Amino acid sequence: MTRFICVQCGTQFAETPAPPPSCPICEDERQYVRWSGQEWTTVEELRTKHRNVFTEEGGPIGIGIEPDFAIGQRALAIPTGDGAILWDCVSLVKEEAVERIRRMGGLKAIAISHPHFYSAMAEWSEAFGGAPVYLHEDDRSWVMNPHGAIRFWSGETLEIAPGFTLIRTGGHFEGSAVLHHAAGADGGGDLFVGDTLSVLQDRRHVSFMRSYPNFIPLNRSAVERIGAALAPYPFQRIFGASAHRNILQDGKAALVRSVERYLRAIRD
């Protein structure tokens, strides 16, 4: 029995004797099936062809895959003073990545923004003795590899460690979430967003989409809801989905002007 991994989105599926017939995540309108058709790989194959790469990002450590695989996001190992939190996930975990996190005190928890980044969350949890994986209840149906480490949370917020709060914003997915670290940026606050909010190339703005590859925008009420969900939280820095795709100062102001700019752009 094998946990097959979708080559297009990087999602690992539950154990089966043969590859699944399709990937529901890729068949959804927010993602897409490869032009060449559905293709599968395994953790073992990935380990022979790819490696984990690391980026220093002002406290958090980025963990990616090289050569690029699937969507191409990077995870972030965030120091807490008592171990690390892994924000978002990638499809490959090798011993060097495990050792990096062990040097940070081990893995306290895994929290993931939305289903496109669930990837090999079970492998990461198991590498650290069953570290809990926090997913929002509204996205339960998108879990392709049910696992005992998964902790579904509901409602609008959840503190998973002192000063670390998951905030449900919705938008990209019903359960899309961000992680707020109150003590980040020397007390100014950090916001980890995946692509619930997408940090743009100018690193001064964010934007919002239902589907990034298929260019399906969010409507006014969804974007206003994201802004309202984040209004109570101060933050200086916003960490996006890709290496160094971060806003490093005045993050809250960047969010406010980005919401205003987006709403102007879609106004009749």
Whether pLDDT at 268 is above 90: no
Two tokens at 198? Answer: 């997408």
What CATH number is given to the structural domain containing 197? 3.60.15.10
Q: Percent of the chain beyond pLDDT 70?
A: 100
Structure tokens at 20: 């699944």
Please list the residues that pair with 238 across neighbouring strands: 191, 247
Domain interval for residue 11: 5-266
The answer to whether the beta carbons of residues 246 and 237 sit under 8 Å apart is: yes
Identify which of 87, 122, 86, 123 has the alpha carbon closest to the alpha carbon of residue 106.
86
- Residue 66 in contact with residue 92, Cβ under 8 Å? no
SS (H, E, C) 238-257: EECCCCCCEECCCHHHHHHH
Mean pLDDT over the full length of the chain = 97
Q: Are 156 and 167 in contact (CB under 8 A)?
A: yes
Structure tokens at 109: 């928890």
For the chain, the domain total comes to 1
Residues 238, 255: Cα–Cα separation, whole Å: 9
Task: Convert the pLDDT of each residue in 75-121 to its tens digit.
Answer: 999 999 999 999 999 999 999 999 999 999 999 999 999 999 999 99
To 10 degrees, what angle do helices 220-230 and 251-266 make?
170
- pTM of this structure: 0.97
